[in-house]
Chains A and B, each alone.
Chain A
Amino acid sequence: MTMEHADRFLVARLLRGDEEAFTEFFDRNFAPLYRFALPRVADEDAAEEVVQTTLCRAVRKLATYRGEAALLTWLTTICRREIATYFEQRRKVPPMVDLSDDLPEIRAALESLGAESALERREVARLVQVVLDRLPNRYGDALEWKYIDGWTVAEIAERLSLAPKAAESLLTRARAAFRDAWVAMEVDA
């Protein structure tokens, strides 16, 4: 099942009032959206407000989601509008932020992957985080636990309530998904 199909299925369950679907929807999208909003509004309370408004608006118009893009992409589009509204209503000027996780900028930034300046390394770091946020099934968490925290497969299995073999398999799929997403961006670039 592609991510878009999985998202459509999730939305169908949400529309039916499935509580587990809501938990999955929220857990999967809240933190990535917050991380999307935070550098753009430069304030934690404002990010919370904008993301809450985004998600509330999204659940009201779930019926219009057609699965043509990933659910997080759709939510990000709404979030971007809410951020603009946030600044309009307060008559404030948005901070100058690096919008590298907008697709065209991602593509452009990838062209500089071979460079070695600190600025470019920070850019790559941001792009990696964006890719991790967009991976399904907690793959991003698993990769962080493995490569940043140095957890063993057994520890990851325990955290996810999985058998060790299943956790190992999940890590393999997570690596493959990361590689695919990364390569896809390079191809686009």
Chain B
Amino acid sequence: MNPNENDPIATLVRLAGRRAQVSGERTARVRAAVAGEWKAAVRRRRWTRVAAAAAIAASVAGVLWLRRPETVAPPSVPAAPLVAVAGEAPVSMAWNGGTLRLDRGTTVRFDAARVATLQHGAIYYANDARGTGVTIHTPFGDVRDVGTRFEVRLSADAVRVRVRDGAVVMRDQTARAGTELVATGTSVTSRSIATSGEEWAWIENAAPPIVLEGKSLDEVLRLIAVEKGLTLERSGPDPTLRGDVPLSVSEALDAATAAAGVTYRIEGDRLIVRGRP
């Protein structure tokens, strides 16, 4: 007599029969695709990890050597000029109530509480508090913020200032949102530009990580729209979100919309979020 004959589990499993198997080829295809997506997600997350140890160690010598984007302690008013150097990746730090982001390979010297000198590369300063502006010295003139978000990129023969929001003043010229100034040793030219898109991507990559926990969907979407330079158009629910792991801007957009059961699309400079039909 089969010992399993009266065993109810054996009976049930036999009744059910073998579960459908997936072919090895199909499994391998999906595994490769998902593994690629997972590795990319891990890389994006690592991009946002703290380099505090390196920064602290380096700051003993008066230099912040920053390898990955992270909000680090504000330089405040150093007793002696403090220099921040971004290594292979953009970095972000708090400065005067806003965030100062350094593109890879950038060197900035902090001369006073609200004054810094761009020595090499590019910075982006985002300050929502009007009237607490900062001044960025460059070899081609000073860039004075009057409550704004802007990028300053220095090259050997010119400095380029791109304004995303608010206004900046440089060599008596005021540049407002959507304007680019290029200053050389002899001239300053101005033109209109887009305030979102690929040229601003490094700034998003350097953005401080976003933690969803306890924030409303609306709050997170507004933050994302600011980081991407987009105008938010939304309808649908506004739930409180969960999730305590720091996310990049794009990860936060995917995670927040998926968690809230809404869809999004980007059209031009608009981030359009709708409830699922």
A residues lining the B interface (CB < 8 Å): 14-17, 22, 26, 30-31, 34-35, 38, 44, 48, 51-52, 55-57, 59-64, 66, 78, 81, 88, 121, 124-126, 128-129, 132-133, 140, 143-144, 146-148, 175, 178-179, 182
B13 touches A26 (CB 8 A): no
Which B residues touch A64, using CB under 8 A? 212, 241-243, 245, 255, 258-259
- Can you sample 23 A-B contacts with CB below 8 Å? A15-B245, A17-B46, A22-B35, A31-B27, A34-B26, A35-B19, A48-B30, A52-B30, A60-B251, A60-B255, A61-B255, A63-B244, A64-B255, A64-B258, A66-B242, A81-B258, A124-B15, A144-B18, A147-B9, A147-B13, A148-B14, A178-B9, A178-B13
New contact pairs (13) apart from A30-B22, A35-B19, A143-B9, CB-CB < 8 Å = A14-B38, A31-B22, A55-B37, A56-B33, A61-B251, A61-B254, A61-B255, A61-B258, A78-B258, A143-B13, A144-B18, A147-B10, A178-B9
Q: How far is the CA of A31 from the CA of B19 in the complex (A)?
A: 9
Contacts of B19 in A (CB 8 A): 31, 35, 129, 132-133, 140, 144
Q: Are B4 and A147 in contact (CB under 8 A)?
A: yes
* CB within 8 Å for A30 and B42 given contacts A60-B251, A140-B19: no
Q: Point out the residues of chain A lying under 8 angstroms from B34, CB to CB.
A: 26, 52, 55-56, 59
| Distance, CA A140 to CA B12, complexed state (A) | 12
Asked if A55 meets B15 with Cβ closer than 8 Å, knowing A17-B42, A31-B21, A35-B20, the reply is no
**Residues of chain B in range 184-229 having any CB-CB distance to chain A below 8 Å:** 212
Q: Is the CB of B243 within 8 A of A144?
A: no
Shortest Cβ gap from B250 to chain A (Å): 9
Across-interface contacts of B21 in A (CB, < 8 A): 31
Cα–Cα distance between A92 and B21 once the two chains are bound (Å): 26
Which B residues fall within an 8 A CB radius of A?
Answer: 4, 9-10, 12-22, 26-27, 29-31, 33-35, 37-39, 41-42, 45-46, 212, 241-247, 251, 254-255, 258-259, 261, 277
Please give, as numbers and ranges, the residues of chain B lying within 8 Å of A26 by CB-CB distance.
31, 34-35
CB distance from B253 to the nearest CB of A (A): 10
CB B75 to nearest CB in A, in angstroms, measures 30
In the bound complex, how far is the Cα of B254 from the Cα of A96, in angstroms? 31
Q: Point out the residues of chain B lying under 8 angstroms from A59, CB to CB.
A: 34, 37-38, 41
Nearest chain B residue, comparing its CB with the CB of A58: B34
Q: Known contacts A15-B42, A52-B33, A143-B13; decide if A60 and B22 are in contact (CB<8 Å).
A: no
State how many angstroms separate the Cβ of A45 from the closest Cβ of chain B. Answer: 9
Write the chain A residue with the least CB distance to B19. A129
Residue of A nearest to B11 (CB): A147
Q: CB-nearest residue of chain A relative to B21? A: A31
Cα A66 to Cα B12 in complex, Å, equals 33
